[in-house]
Amino acid sequence: MTMSTASVKSGWRDWRVVDVDNARWKSHDLFPQAACVDIQTIEPSEFEEAQRSPRTGSSLSALQGCDVSYLWRSYSHEWKGFLKHFKDVISTDCDVHFNNIVVRYSGCALLDAELSRRIVSTLREVKSIMEETPNARKFRRLADQWYNETGMLSMIHKKVMHPAYQRIIGMGKEALPFIFQELNKKHVHWIWALSAILDDDVAKPEDTLEEAVAAWLKWGKDNGYI
Amino acid sequence: MAISRRLPQLRENAFPDLYRTGYEVTSQEDDYQNCIAFAAGRPNGVWTPYAGNGYYWPRGLPRKTDVETFVKLYKLEAGYDPCDPSDEGEYEEGVEKVALYVDANNEVTHAAKQNKDGTWTSKLGDWEDVRHNSLEGVGGDAPAYGKVAKFLRRDQQRVRIEEPMKLP
């Protein structure tokens, strides 16, 4: 399938369509099965003008303030809820469909470049989650629960005693590739789980947290988990 | 990237009084620091009594979560003294204050530090830092931080940021 910029219809101004390649991502690589995944970007001055317009102003303002990736995290695996909320936020100018693994995003929504990048990033995450193995899906579900329910805690012993974290430890070495992915994303409190699963600690007692994480990341690379 | 002034909804929900009493987000999230180190003025570090390698707790200090232990921690690491019991956290020129929160079991859950305008700043676990108008903002039933059990103080002139101690 080819990407069709012709499907983008603003209908009320000559909005300049910026080639997505220039934004260093390709939306059609994301969902090759989709007829089109078009993101239209505009200059900041044009965006401000659109915000002042009674026709699009409120929906654009709502969209600009929306953290799309967080929206996805909130709904986790609830596809219908996510897509409904996504569509509500985007406003009726945009069309979002969910059909098997094809998420089609097209229409005449006018987005600034940063928001476009975030939407594509979120859809990429959605796709990768759809393709997850059962173990990966289990880890993701438990990790999301753990992040959401313990992220506000400062006492580490309370975080790691959370049932979701303990269930991940219970996955044993099957969890290691996913744990190292999270550790690589600066989610550092997985070092406790690594010690528990491997019954060892590559960090030293005198290490700072940065040093402990670096030691574990090196171990992960040396042992083929990263 | 610009910092959003408001927490994502799920996070704001953890602190039911935060929006009502007024707050703004002042940093991005960061796993490398917790509120205990943050309130002591340390730029990084996770100070926690029960944890493995990489986490910090002073040698010789009991690994406990009661207020008395945390009063000793702040005295040892940052030169804070307990406030008079009548002190309710009012701003005083030239004085830095920290508020220690406890849960229903009287275990310390959180520390907030006072700003020069009398507002408070809290690092919300691994989440963002927020400047909040009222101590009540991050208090309340779990997962919020409970209630303030103790205020600590130190003279601003004595502030000296040092790296956490390392074991020999």
Q: Which is more confidently placed, A134 or A162?
A: A162
CB contact under 8 A, B53 and A114: no
**Cβ contacts (< 8 Å) between A165 and chain B: which residues?**
none
Which residues make Cβ contacts (< 8 Å) with residue A41, sequence separation at least 6? A17, A18, A23, A111, A112, A113, A116
Across the interface, of A150, A186, A209, the residue whose CB is closest to B55 is A209
Query: What torsion, rounded to 10 degrees, do the Cα atoms A46, A48, A49, A51 define?
Result: 130
Across the interface, of A152, A157, A212, the residue whose CB is closest to B53 is A212
Query: What torsion, rounded to 10 degrees, do the Cα atoms A66, A79, A73, A108 define?
Result: -20
**Cβ contacts (< 8 Å) between A68 and chain B: which residues?**
none
Is 70 exceeded by the pLDDT of residue B146?
A: yes
- pLDDT tens profile A143-153: 989 999 999 99
Tell me what pLDDT residue A131 has.
65
DSSP E strand stretches across A146-191: none
Q: What is the ipTM of this complex?
A: 0.89
- pLDDT tens profile A140-192: 889 989 999 999 999 999 999 999 999 999 999 999 999 999 999 889 999 99
CB contact under 8 A, B125 and A191: no
CB contact under 8 A, A191 and B32: no
> Does B119 lie at the interface with A, CB-CB under 8 angstroms?
no
- pLDDT tens profile A41-77: 444 555 455 555 544 444 444 444 444 545 555 555 5
> Does B127 lie at the interface with A, CB-CB under 8 angstroms?
yes
Rounded Cα–Cα distance for residues A57 and A218 (Å): 49
- Report the amino acid identity of residue A49: E
As beta bridge partners, residue B113 has B98, B121
> Does B140 lie at the interface with A, CB-CB under 8 angstroms?
no
CB contact under 8 A, A67 and B4: yes
Tell me what pLDDT residue B70 has.
98
Residue B143: asked if its preceding bond is cis (omega within 30°), the reply is yes
* First vs last C-alpha separation in chain B: 40
